[in-house]
Amino acid sequence: MEELLNCWNCGESLADVPLPISRHAHCASCFEVLHCCRMCLHYEPNKSPYCDDDRTDPPNMKENANFCEYFNPAGKLNGNDLKPSAATKSALDDLFDRGSKSATTDEAEGGRSKEDPVDRFKGLFDD
């Protein structure tokens, strides 16, 4: 059984797109080009230069249509591109102290903390 293709951008089924995918083919749902690095089986966003095929000369814009002779359409939406990893999210939460509840909030002021930068800025001009 042949694997069904989905758009790299929106995840919609590409069952109506004739194979091989033309350089001019677009997704019927989101209108993104399909013959691009992001749609290719060789696309590896965690590697540099993002392509695991050594014979290619990858373009700078991975979302643009290209003339790659080694293009092989992938049959899945690349979830790694859409969702940050748990480690990355945790590191960002730690960096911006999103996990701690040490700052008290005042609901009357729109949920801003007492240490709010806007309030601190306005406090600079109080006489």
The pLDDT of residue 1: 39
In whole angstroms, what is the distance from residue 52 CA to residue 59 CA?
Answer: 14
pLDDT band with cut points at 50, 70 and 90 for residue 107: very low
Amino acid at 14: L
Alpha helices in 16-126 (DSSP H): 79-82, 86-95, 117-123
Model-level pTM? 0.52
In whole angstroms, what is the distance from residue 70 CA to residue 67 CA?
Answer: 9
SS3 51: strand
pLDDT digits (tens, 9 = 90+) for 35-64: 888 888 888 777 777 777 777 776 777 677
- pLDDT at residue 103 is higher than 50: no
